[in-house]
Amino acid sequence: MSEYSDLEAQITQLGKRMEEQTRLTRSLIALCTTLIVGIMFYIFTLTVEHLPTIIQFKLMSNLDSIVKEWKQAERTNK
């Protein structure tokens, strides 16, 4: 009989440990998920904030070819 009660106590103790580990794991998963979503939101807001500047730089890089064509057109019209 004492064998069974020892075994039962060990099983109960293991069950409690597993429950604690499960709670800890769930908490860590929730924390990490929240952190990842927060970082993604921060990166998104930075991208949107600097988007007009990025677009301007892209247009400025294309400006050289436009100026070149404009000057050629002016020379032809003279």
Q: Cα–Cα–Cα angle for 42, 43, 48, nearest 5°?
A: 100
Return the pLDDT at 34.
98
Confidence of residue 52 (pLDDT cuts 50, 70, 90): confident
Quick: pLDDT tens for 35-50.
Answer: 999 999 999 999 888 8
Distances (CA, A) of 24 to 3, 28, 34: 32, 6, 15
Q: Rounded to whole angstroms, how far apart are CA atoms 45 and 39?
A: 10
Q: Rounded to whole angstroms, how far apart are CA atoms 26 and 36?
A: 15
